[in-house]
Amino acid sequence: MSHISNMELETLRHFIGDLTTRVAKCQTYAQQCNDPQLKNFFNSSAQTEAHALQTLKQFLN
């Protein structure tokens, strides 16, 4: 990995924090839904956000 600036590192941390929150919220909403389509939407969204989160975390390794 190439060297990243402190500003880039802080930006990554900010995005990672946001994605972590979005994953948790989507999972919570999915658990609370009674409508199967809406539950599926939130579960799918949580998976998409979790994948993006893992991709961003790779930049910190």
Kindly list the domain boundaries of the chain, sorted by start residue.
18-60
What pLDDT is recorded for position 36? 97
Residue 44 and residue 48: Cα distance in Å, rounded? 6
Q: How many residues does the chain have?
A: 61
The model's pLDDT over 11-24, given as tens digits with 9 standing for 90+, comes to 999 999 999 999 99
- pLDDT tens, residue by residue, 4-58: 889 988 999 999 999 999 999 999 999 999 999 999 999 999 999 999 999 988 8
Q: What's the whole-model pTM score?
A: 0.84
Q: For position 2, what pLDDT does the model report?
A: 63
Cα separation of the two ends of the chain: 8
Q: At 5, list the tokens.
A: 């600036």
Torsions phi, psi for 33 (to 5 deg):
-80, 145
The closest of 27, 21, 19, 20 to 44, measured between CA atoms, is 27
